[in-house]
Amino acid sequence: MHPDTWTAFFGVFPSRTITRGKPYLLPSGRLGSRPGKLNLWALESKPAVHSDRLEPHLRYLIDRLSLPRDDVRERIERADARMRFFCYWDNETGNRVPYVSEATRKLIESIGGVLEIDEYR
């Protein structure tokens, strides 16, 4: 599904998009050397949330997307798409545990979303 469809659906402008077969900007701001392989609609929390905990970032995304919504899971399935909450977790010291409340985990699961945490040491 074209990224503009998700912009209209959520009523939120994304941080980044990729359209299959079209040139796209890398996170660095440079133009990618190849056309997009997939359609992507991404909303980032980092510019708006100043916290080193995951929960505030997830709550920001949930609030901005007005989740939960009755129609979101069906829309994702019908589009053969995925909703992924992808988090970078900076854990240089190795002693920090990423906390996500049970309520937030259940909400993400209820809409067919997946929570992925990429830990950096």
* Tens digit of each residue's pLDDT (9 = 90 or more) over 5-59: 999 999 999 999 999 999 999 988 899 999 999 999 999 999 999 999 999 999 9
Q: What is the pTM of this model?
A: 0.89
Bridge partners of 118, per DSSP, are 88
Name the phi and psi angles at 90, rounded to 5. -85, 115
3-class SS of residue 48 = coil
Cβ atoms of 100 and 58 closer than 8 Å: yes
What percentage of the chain reaches a pLDDT higher than 70?
100
Residue 24, both tokens: 């796209």
